[in-house]
Amino acid sequence: MNGAHSLLATLTGNGIGVCFANPGTSEMHIVAALDQVTGMRCVLGLFEGVVTGAADGYARMAGRPAATLLHLGPGLANGLSNLHNAMRAQSAVVNVIGDHATYHRRYDAPLTSDIEGTARPFSHWVRTTPDAASVAADTAAAVAAARTAPGRVASLIVPADAAWSALTAAPAPVQAVVPAPPRVPEPAVETAARILRSGHPAALLLGPQATREAPLEVAGQIAAATGSRLYSPTQNARITRGAGRVPVQRIPYPVDQAVALLADVRDLVLVGAKPPVAFFAYPGKPSRLDPPGTRVHELARPDQDVPGALTALRDALGAGGAVPRRAGISRPALPGGALTPAKIGAVLSALMPPDAVVVDESITTGRSFLADTAGAAPHDWILPTGGSIGYALPCAAGAAIASPGRRVIVLESDGSGMYMPQALWTHAREQLDILTLVFANRGYQILRHELSNVGATAGGPRAEALMDLGRPDIDWVSLARTFGVPGSRAATADELARQVAAGLSAPGPRLIEVAL
């Protein structure tokens, strides 16, 4: 047995059975060990951002970490944007990053870099294991760090000689010691109960640990008993929603809409969430979205027992018998004619299968989709969290692997999709049940809006050229086929409805280019 065997045995022994990988020379002993240590499913991504994005999606749906396998500092750097998103999503991820052999570092070979320094801004925990004998304990520590509430990114750097060096004896199994999330103190619960009993307009802002089915039920009981509203942040990792489930309203992205939504809120209770802030600074507009004078109370921090805090608040209010409001079923008629965002939303609502997982990066096209699908069949909706675009196609791969038997629907903008289209190859290689809709408006439409929102002077032809995705147009159908995913193009609502129905009924991945 060598350090690589010890690494994989410790990962699998601690319940990590999936590794998303893009390895290189320094990781070859770990790659070789995959055939000698059972229990690890290894999924290849053709770009490191696909690897880290898939690990994020896996954690969002499985509720436990996957591992990644990355190649030195540049490989890690290629994956950082989706590690940023994973951190913001509170996703548990264990990065395994290969490094040069310890004795080779001093020669400053071409791929030498400060891996720890690169990892720290995008990780909660970073460690370099010094030798093969330390691999098991350090791997268990990485798993424990990743699984610490609410979910963290842990980065373990493994020098090549720590992987290939033989162990004199098989190490004893090392179990990760994961601390339980602390309970919320009673005074915080009592204060929140008093605020909600006051009769002032109040809202609960529910973070990602509070927007799953069970805690949403409890939040719904609190809302029914007190008249308070249920909101979620604009960027939330996963919302359980659809017919029969407690609805929660997402705070809109546009500042003016968000401010209007919160205008009369006087008491805001944070449940595993931060106070609402604008995505960017805009001249003449507030950074905080709640009105001045709003009384903000933190019921639970994200690292505390958020579902338990909701239950304690419900019990303190005597709301255990309250019946929460639930979304009704809505199956709109399939639309025809020219495509509009409202008609796309109607197609999704009418055809979405039960238990679907929607991964949304539709940006401007999809701003009404959550409202349009409120009464669709029960499903989970995954949203961008960190704002680093190109997350949806990789995230969908991980979500599909974590959710066998469930259909994954990707709502992707054409600009964002081009950041990591290599994920389509992984969809095809793993034969994942993913239907991708790419909204092809041939431009970075969000930037056209933002040019005005920030008060920049009207853009001329040079500015417009940076927001135009034409000349040449991207042929998404051909691109998908290149990666092994069958594709089609829909230019009308009728065509879209037929193609979505066909794509959802066929196994494996499909892509539809929605021409807007």
pLDDT digits 0-9 by tens, 338-385: 999 999 999 999 999 999 999 999 988 999 999 999 999 999 999 999
What is the average pLDDT value for the chain, to the nearest integer? 96
Residue 77 pLDDT level (bands cut at 50, 70, 90) = very high
Neighbouring C-beta atoms of residue 25, cutoff 10 Å = 11
- Amino acid identity, residue 513? E
For residue 440, give the 3-state DSSP assignment.
strand
CA angle 260, 265, 267 (to 5 degrees): 155
> Does pTM surpass 0.75?
yes
Question: Which of 245, 322, 336, 259 is CA-nearest to residue 292?
Answer: 259
Q: Angle 493-505/341-351 helices, nearest 10 degrees? A: 30
DSSP 3-state assignment of 429? helix
Output the pLDDT for position 469: 86
Q: What percent of the chain has pLDDT over 70?
A: 99
Taking alpha carbons only, the member of 326, 413, 434 closest to residue 423 is 434
**What is residue 387's DSSP assignment?**
-
Ramachandran category for residue 151: left, alpha or beta (phi over 0 → left; psi -120 to 50 → alpha) = left
Tokens of 427: 């969809």
pLDDT at 43: 98
Percent of the chain with pLDDT over 90: 92
DSSP-based three-state secondary structure for 412: strand
The neighbour count for residue 342, using CB atoms within 10 Å, is 14
> For the segment 435-470, what is each residue's pLDDT rounded down to a tens digit?
999 999 888 777 777 877 887 866 688 888 888 888
Q: What is the pLDDT of residue 381?
A: 98
Q: What is the pLDDT of residues 172-220, one digit of tens each?
A: 889 999 999 999 999 999 999 999 999 999 999 999 999 999 999 999 9
CA 473-476-478 angle, 5° bins:
105
Average the pLDDT over 273-295 and give the result: 95
Report pLDDT for 459: 67
Amino acid letter, residue 487? G
State the pLDDT confidence band at 31, using cuts at 50, 70 and 90.
very high
What are the structural domains, with CATH classification, of the chain? 3-164 (3.40.50.970), 186-316 (3.40.50.1220), 341-515 (3.40.50.970)
Cα–Cα distance between 223 and 370 in angstroms, integer?
20
Task: Say which amino acid occupies 338.
Answer: A
Amino acid, single-letter form, for residue 243? A
